[in-house]
Amino acid sequence: MKNKEIQEKRMKGYFIQATKEILKGEGLKAISVRNIADQAGYSYATLYNYFKDINDLVFLCVNDFQEECELFVSDLTNNEPKGITKLKASILAYIKYFVEYPGIFELFYITRGGDFGNKPQIISVISNSLDNACKKDWECCLKHKLIPEADTEKLKAQLRYSIIGLLSLYLNRLTPATYSEFIDRATMLIDSVLGIKPDIRDHLSKNDASTIQNSLISVTIKK
């Protein structure tokens, strides 16, 4: 029965779409079985014919949001000069995506969705979320030897963890209290992890896409 599969996929799509809209709009706190079903135009119990529980449904949105996030990042950093500067811009854009959609941050890093053991694919997407959003930039930096290959994994890990922490404190604990202060700290954090000196060149480089800049090698922790 091919029709059945098509219809089932369509139905799932309706619920997933509804869930995504609520998550991006009112956020995770507004997620409920009845809310989602309303938005999808069905009764709340119908949902259980297609998903085993509400977590199952909610976490299916992760893939779509990761795609959207990567688009968001590349859109926001298109004009940046390649190299460390663009890597830094991508990380900042990644941060801004989750500030714009706090519900998606909760979904990715906060909410405990019960039995994760069965969904290694989703866990993998989440764990590699930042790395994938900056994939091209890392490759570029490696290719041009702007970052020692031996350090990349350490740096990626440091960035992955510290940016989750930074966002957690800001979104969950209002620390720091203002957005501009938050962006300042984010910038400082990225700079200090990547070993970028606060420099006037940082402000000029946006309009200077000719050369690849800021080699990291000279300022990295030595082996």
Within 45-104, the residues that bind a copy of itself by CB under 8 A are none
Please tell me whether residue 135 binds DNA under the rule CB under 7 A.
no
- 206 touches 80 (CB < 8 A): yes
Q: CB under 5 to 8 A by kind: which of a copy of itself, DNA, none does 160 bind?
A: a copy of itself
Please tell me whether residue 190 binds a copy of itself under the rule CB under 8 A.
no
Within 148-177, the residues that bind a copy of itself by CB under 8 A are 154, 157-158, 160-166, 168-169, 172-175
Q: CB under 5 to 8 A by kind: which of a copy of itself, DNA, none does 60 bind?
A: none
Q: The tokens of 20 are what? A: 């995504």
Please tell me whether residue 2 binds DNA under the rule CB under 7 A.
no
Q: CB under 5 to 8 A by kind: which of a copy of itself, DNA, none does 188 bind?
A: a copy of itself
Supply the minimum distance, in Å, between the C-beta of residue 197 and a copy of itself.
8
Supply the minimum distance, in Å, between the C-beta of residue 131 and a copy of itself.
13
Q: CB under 5 to 8 A by kind: which of a copy of itself, DNA, none does 31 bind?
A: DNA
# residues contacting DNA (CB under 7 A): 21
What lies within 8 Å, CB to CB, of 197 at 6+ separation is 191, 219
Please tell me whether residue 179 binds a copy of itself under the rule CB under 8 A.
no
Within 27-46, the residues that bind DNA by CB under 7 A are 31-35, 42-46
Candidates 6, 8, 165, 178: give the one binding DNA (CB under 7 A): 8
- DSSP string covering the chain, please? -HHHHHHHHHHHHHHHHHHHHHHHTT-GGG--HHHHHHHHTS-GGGGGGT-SSHHHHHHTHHHHHHHHHHHHHHHHTTTSPTBHHHHHHHHHHHHHHHHH-HHHHIIIII---S-GGG-HHHHHHHHTHHHHHTHHHHHHHHHTTSS-HHHHHHHHHHHHHHHHHHHHHHHHH--SSSHHHHHHHHHHHHHHHHTPPP-HHHHHGGG--SS-B--SGGGSPP-
Residues forming the site for a copy of itself (CB under 8 A): 29, 109-112, 116-117, 123, 126-127, 154, 157-158, 160-166, 168-169, 172-175, 185, 188-189, 192-193, 195, 197, 219-223
